[in-house]
């Protein structure tokens, strides 16, 4: 029972600090479940996050389900997902109840502008940390460059990028194996 409570509390922390969407959760998720608790590896975090982005639903909830399921099976996935959404649910109910009264207040608008800037910094920080483990050679860097370029200049779904990168990774590894 303690492990379920630990999962719930860990994802309450991630959920409570994730402002700005699924990308903003990366540094918090990394710190909470990877560095602090050691529940997953960096490679697993990247895989879970990529799959969470490709699947329908909220990236953070999908990723929480993967981590929770790894720790404690299906019940763990459910508990982690509930922990991830609990803070948002509480915050949204409070904000919805009072937003119309305060949405035109300059301090509120300015606060949201500042939060958006902070989220960009958090995303860049997470990308830099993930870069160190994901880009291990020139082939990975080439896949990164192609996916990055296509994502900037096209409207393709992230699912297409993940599938294409998976196929390219397999093709490259098979070619390397044949060359040896």
In this structure, are residues 28 and 13 in contact, taking their beta carbons and an 8 Å threshold? yes
Smallest Cα–Cα separation from 84: which of 3, 1, 4, 17? 17
List CB contacts of 39: < 8 A, sequence separation 6 or more: 10, 33, 67, 70, 71
Q: Helices in the chain by DSSP H: which ranges?
A: 2-17, 25-29, 42-54, 59-102, 106-134, 138-153, 158-179
Least confident segment among 23-27, 39-43, 74-78, 104-108: 23-27
- Identify the three-state secondary structure at position 174: helix
pLDDT of residue 54: 81
pLDDT, one tens digit per residue, over 138-156 is 988 999 999 999 999 999 9
CA separation for the pair 60, 67 (Å, rounded): 11
**pLDDT (mean) for 10-25:** 78
Predicted structure pTM score: 0.59
What pLDDT does 21 receive? Answer: 66
Q: What is the pLDDT of residue 65?
A: 93
pLDDT in tens, 55-111: 877 888 899 999 999 999 999 999 999 999 898 888 888 877 877 777 788 888 888
Residue 149 has what pLDDT?
A: 93
Residue found under tokens 């990164």: 144
* 164 and 142 Cβ atoms separated by less than 8 Å: no
- Sorted by where each begins, the domain ranges of the chain are 2-132, 135-180
pLDDT confidence band for 14 (50 / 70 / 90): confident
């Amino acid at each position: 029972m303690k492990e379920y409570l630990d999962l719930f509390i860990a994802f309450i922390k991630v959920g409570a600090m994730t402002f700005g969407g699924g990308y903003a959760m990366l540094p918090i998720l990394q710190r909470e479940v990877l560095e602090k608790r050691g529940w997953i590896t960096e490679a697993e975090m990247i895989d879970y996050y990529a799959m969470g982005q490709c699947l329908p639903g909220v990236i953070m909830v999908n990723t929480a389900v993967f981590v929770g399921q790894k720790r404690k099976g299906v019940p763990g996935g459910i508990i982690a997902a509930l922990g991830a959404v609990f803070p948002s649910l509480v915050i949204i109910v409070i904000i919805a109840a009072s937003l119309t009264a305060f949405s035109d207040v300059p301090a509120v608008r300015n606060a949201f502008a500042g939060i958006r800037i902070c989220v960009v910094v958090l995303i860049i920080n997470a990308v830099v940390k993930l870069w160190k483990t994901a880009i291990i050679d020139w082939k990975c860097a080439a896949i990164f460059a192609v996916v990055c370029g296509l994502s900037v200049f096209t409207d393709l779904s992230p699912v297409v990028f993940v599938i294409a990168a998976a196929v390219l990774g397999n093709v490259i590894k098979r070619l390397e194996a044949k060359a040896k």
